[in-house]
């Protein structure tokens, strides 16, 4: 037996091995891989299960995680409350006060857990729970109820029965087939109060076509190219409100002016509100002509009392 790995490193490698190759290793194989005795591997497995992970053996005594269990447990490790974050800051200050290393650690912590400013709300436990249910429904091809969905289009909060086939948590979008309306719909995961799994199997799988999503998180197969020229203030506001637009903004030849060019939904949802709210910061709306006509119609709808 050798000691090429510390216990902490060995357990981390063991978890990684079981995730990457489930039910590929027996206790004897793992002991040989890490230069320890089978009894040591047995102790490692027990330590992992005591941490809340569920491991089982197949009929050939090879180890693997119970499907989905390790990942559902990891969501609890990712969740930090504001109180947790404050305690971590205090601990960093105590260990390395006023040092470059301390400032670097705080910056990394803020980048991970400043949910609202940086758009990482999808790391919160309630969000991950909804994602877990949507992924389970997708994998098992079952319908779900989106309980208490808040719709900006209808200005209603109500339940939706859907077949979820394309959840995209980093974009906060779900593409699903609406069973009631009999059509493809897109939903914002953050606007779902709760996901409830049903026993109903999918009935409309033939209609499950993934459609392109624009930087405003609108799903639309009839996208059109838009071209705007922005001043600094408009560029900042656009990126802060719609972070995905940053990839389509470049500096122009004119100082402090930026070009925004990309494909967006043909109804200009999201973009319309931005332009009307920050028209004073725009240099020019160049194309398409349909966008200019749309904006004129929207302005005519505004009534002042």
Q: Count CA atoms within 13 Å of residue 157 on its CB side.
A: 7
Query: pLDDT category, 221, cuts 50, 70, 90?
Result: confident
3 state DSSP class of 288: coil
pTM assigned to the model: 0.50
For 13-67, what is each residue's pLDDT tens digit? 888 788 777 888 899 988 888 888 899 999 888 888 877 678 888 888 899 887 5
How far does the chain reach from its first CA to its final CA, in angstroms? 85
For 172-200, what is each residue's pLDDT tens digit? 789 999 999 998 888 988 899 999 999 99
Structure tokens at 149: 């969905």
Q: Taking all residues of the chain, what is their mean pLDDT, rounded to a whole number?
A: 81
> Could you give all domains of the chain from N- to C-terminal order, each with its CATH number?
7-71 (1.10.10.10), 79-113 (no CATH), 138-207 (2.30.30), 224-300 (3.30.70)
- Residues 272 and 302: their CA atoms lie apart, in Å, by 13
For 101-138, what is each residue's pLDDT tens digit? 666 666 655 555 443 333 444 445 677 788 888 989 99
């Amino acid at each position: 037996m050798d000691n090429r790995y510390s216990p902490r490193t060995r357990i981390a490698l063991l978890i990684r091995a079981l995730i990457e190759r489930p039910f590929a290793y027996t206790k004897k194989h793992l002991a040989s891989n890490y230069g320890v005795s089978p009894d040591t591997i047995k102790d490692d497995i027990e330590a992992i299960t005591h941490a809340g992970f569920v491991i089982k053996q197949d009929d050939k005594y090879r180890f693997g995680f119970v499907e989905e269990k390790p990942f559902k447990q990891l969501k609890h490790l990712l969740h930090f409350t504001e109180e947790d974050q404050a305690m971590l800051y205090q601990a960093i200050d105590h260990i390395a006060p006023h040092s470059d290393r301390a400032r670097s650690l705080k910056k990394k912590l803020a980048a991970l857990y400043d949910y609202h400013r940086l758009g990482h709300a999808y790391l919160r436990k309630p969000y991950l729970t909804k994602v877990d249910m949507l992924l389970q429904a997708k994998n098992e091809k079952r319908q779900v109820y989106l309980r208490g969905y808040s719709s900006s289009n209808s200005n209603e909060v109500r339940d939706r029965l859907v077949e979820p086939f394309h959840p995209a948590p980093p974009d906060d979008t779900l593409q699903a087939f609406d069973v009631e309306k009999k059509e493809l719909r897109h939903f914002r995961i953050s606007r779902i109060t709760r996901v409830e799994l049903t026993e109903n199997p999918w009935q409309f799988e033939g209609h499950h076509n993934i459609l392109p999503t624009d930087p405003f998180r609108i799903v639309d197969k009839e996208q059109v190219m838009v071209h705007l020229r922005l001043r600094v203030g408009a560029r900042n506001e656009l990126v802060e409100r719609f972070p995905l637009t940053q990839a389509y903004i470049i500096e122009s030849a004119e100082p402090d002016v930026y070009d925004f060019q990309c494909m967006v939904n043909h109804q200009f949802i999201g973009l319309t509100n931005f332009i009307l709210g920050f028209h004073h910061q725009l240099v020019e709306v160049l194309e398409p002509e349909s966008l200019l006509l749309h904006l004129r119609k929207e302005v005519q709808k505004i009534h002042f009392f």
